[in-house]
Amino acid sequence: MNLGEINPILLIASLMVAATPLLLAAIGELVVEKAGVLNLGVEGMMIVGAISGFAVSVETGSPWLGFVAAAIGGALLSLLFVLLTQFALANQVASGLALTLFGLGLSALLGQSYVGIKPPSMGDIHIPVLSDLPVIGPILFQHDPILYVGIALTAGVWAMLKYTRAGLILRAVGENHDAAHALGYKVIRIRILAILFGGACAGLGGAYISLIRVPQWTEGMTAGVGWIALALVVFASWKPWRALLGAYLFGGITVLQLNLQAAGVAIPVEYLAMSPYIITILVLVILSADKSRAPASLGRIFHASH
């Protein structure tokens, strides 16, 4: 065992990388839930995003196109959720589960010929001066571009929900869909857009795992990240910046346990590997006392009789 081998600067830098897939998926789901829809299919949309991003970037050689494809792939899968919950008025919990089961199968099918291939690398950004700063440089300014997209997305969603008319309407639909409908807002249309946005974000998060974090394709590689992202939305009590904080916290735990595994701590590998899941449960327990922040129409079916 050698804890001295753990480099705190690298640890924090890799924490941000580990947190990004979670953050992307959680921000998407946050918007969906703010619109009053509970989509439990995050895991499925992530894994489909992971393979579509991987396949396209391998075929075209461009990781950028890969990420675009991942967003489209995630959104396409969420379209199935739209059909089920917004048009067929199916139960959202069951539909979300269906999405995850279907997505896991579909991704395995699509990914058969991509096992063991290395995807093209995106490369890290380099800003003169800033990236060369000691300590701060490697932590903040030497990452891949998508990591900054994640942070920008958080800021964008926060500003949209707080300051814009569109954000206000979205929240109104999530809080009371009958009242929003009575005011003349297109509840279904707004929810569809939110669900598609959530799907695209989850897809990006998945592709981040397969293209940057790992980078490789293996079946079921998201390994519960989508579910942790769902927990993260509760943790954040539906606030974007708290989602960022939460993602870094979970990213930190993941990276720390990996580092401890590598350093050969006396705790068996399996127990370290289960720690992120156990901590997710603990956090959920601590935060579940406060239910007041959840959008009031969350998970309820909207059907306008007139």
Partner 1 sequence: MIVLEKRPQPSKAWSYATPLVAVVATMVFGGLLFAILGKNPVEAIGTIFWEPLFGEFSFYYRPQLLVKGAPLVLIAIGLSLGFRAGIWNIGAEGQYIMGAIFGAGVGLAFYPLDAWYIFPLMVLAGAFGGWIWAMIPAFLKVRFGTNEILVSLMLVYVAEQLLASVSLGLLKNPEGFGFPGSRNLQSYDAAHNAELIAGSGMHWGVVAAFVAVIFAYVLLNRHMLGFHIRLTGEAPRAAKFAGVNPPRLILFCLGVSGALAGLAGMFEVSGPSGVVSIDFNVGYGFTAIIVAFLGRLHPIGILLAGGLMALTYIGGEIAQSQLGLPAAAIQVFQGMLLFFLLAFDLLTNYRIRAARSEVA
The site for partner 1 (CB under 8 A) is made up of 40, 80, 83-84, 88-91, 93-95, 97-98, 101-106, 108-109, 112, 219, 223-224, 227-228, 230-231, 234, 268, 270-271, 273-274, 277-278, 280-281, 284-285, 288-289, 291, 303, 305
Minimum Å distance from CB 30 to partner 1?
Answer: 15
Taking the alpha carbons at both ends of the chain, their separation in whole angstroms is 68
Minimum Å distance from CB 107 to partner 1?
Answer: 8
Minimum Å distance from CB 26 to partner 1?
Answer: 13
Tell me if 153 sits within 8 A of 201, measured CB to CB. yes
Nearest residue (CB) to partner 1, 142 versus 275: 275
Cβ neighbours around 114 below 10 Å, total: 17
Query: Which amino acid is residue 154, in one-letter code?
Result: T
Nearest residue (CB) to partner 1, 99 versus 170: 99
Minimum Å distance from CB 40 to partner 1?
Answer: 7
Per-residue tokens: 283: 């956090």
Per-residue tokens: 61: 């050689």
Q: Using alpha carbons, list the distances in angstroms from residue 276 to 193, 221, 225, 231, 245.
A: 32, 16, 10, 12, 15
Nearest residue (CB) to partner 1, 11 versus 106: 106
Nearest residue (CB) to partner 1, 93 versus 130: 93
Find how far residue 242's CA is from the centre of its chain: 14
Minimum Å distance from CB 3 to partner 1?
Answer: 22
3-state secondary structure of 172: helix
Nearest residue (CB) to partner 1, 145 versus 224: 224
Closest by Cα among 112, 90, 91, 110 to 102: 110
